[in-house]
Amino acid sequence: MRMLAKTCLLSAIMLSVCGCGGKVEDAGFKVKNFFGSFSDPHPKVLTRYAFDDTVDPDLRRKAIISLSGHDWGLTETYLDGYDVILRAEMRKPVDRQDTALMSATVGALGKGKNPKYIVTLALALKLSTSPQVRWDAAVALDSVIGEKAIDQLCQSSDPSNENTVDVRVACCQALRHYQRQDVIDTLISRLPTEEDFSVRYRAHQTLISLCGRDFGPEYTDWVGTKLENLEAIEVEKKKSMWNPMNWFR
């Protein structure tokens, strides 16, 4: 009698949790999902879901996110797979592209931090019609560092090329890794031409990071700034620090 009572109680609890309205045919599926939500499937299952293009795109997306959460899922073999998926989606007509799947693969490549995939990420930043995918690509290029990213980051920080503010902000952020004159010139040019304050602010902060000093928030404060001049000033500053004649001034 007690066993029957416990069984009835468990059944009632599970039907309540699953919200099945007493429909037994729905309960089995929802109970399975309820318990399955506490752990990932086996890595082999995740791998099959991720790289089988006949699988539902939403399952593929979830599998890629899960795989890229593990170090072994960021090895070059897996990164090559994410790269193939992203390129395949970009080759499809726009109305057939799965942007959520593309974002998942871009995020996985960003976590991998392997410069081998910069070209693919730069293509996603340039060609995708989805602002979300372009933003994800710009964020990924803040982690995947290499000079092949510079041209596209500079172009996509320009409001005449990129109409989404968050993407332009992310591009200005990612340019902080490149202490080059062309990058500094690009960031300076954003100060007078960019209408959005958040982009101007990020360009200014990146300039400070690259130049090691803050000349001010306005274009006129930075115009004509040259790296070689900054380096010469820094050398003189270090010499001055080690000159005993300056210690007591």
Q: 3-state DSSP call for residue 214?
A: coil
pLDDT value, residue 244: 64
Q: What's the pLDDT band for 39 if we cut at 50, 70, 90?
A: low
Region 88-114: what's the mean pLDDT? 97
- Find the mean pLDDT for residues 30-34: 41
Cα–Cα distance list, 122 to 51, 134, 148, 174 (Å): 22, 9, 8, 12
Average pLDDT (135-158) is: 98
Average pLDDT over residues 38-45: 74
Answer whether residue 5 shows pLDDT above 70. no
Which of 107-116, 133-142, 213-222, 228-237 is least confident?
228-237
* Residue 233, pLDDT above cutoff 70: no
Q: Report if pTM > 0.85.
A: no
> Confidence band (pLDDT; 50, 70, 90) for 228?
confident
Average pLDDT score over residue span 74-95: 97
Share of the chain above pLDDT 70, in %: 76
Cα separations (Å) of 184 from 11, 131, 177, 189, 216? Answer: 66, 25, 11, 9, 14
Asked if 202 and 173 count as a contact pair (C-beta separation under 8 A), the reply is yes
- pLDDT of 100 > 80? The answer is yes
- More reliable by pLDDT, 114 or 33: 114
Q: What is the pLDDT of residue 38?
A: 39
Model confidence at 151, in pLDDT bands (50, 70, 90)?
very high
Q: How far apart are the first and last CA of the chain?
A: 94
Read off the pLDDT of residues 8-26 as tens digits, 9 standing for 90 and up: 443 443 344 444 444 444 4
Q: Average the pLDDT over 225-237 and give the result.
A: 66
H-type helices in 116-159, by residue range? 118-127, 131-140, 150-156
What is the rounded CA–CA span in Å between residue 115 and residue 109? 9
Q: Provide the pLDDT for residue 14.
A: 38
Mean pLDDT value across residues 96-111: 97
Average pLDDT along the chain: 84
Distance of CA 240 to the CA centre of its chain: 42
Specify the pLDDT at position 230: 79
Q: Are 128 and 102 in contact (CB under 8 A)?
A: yes
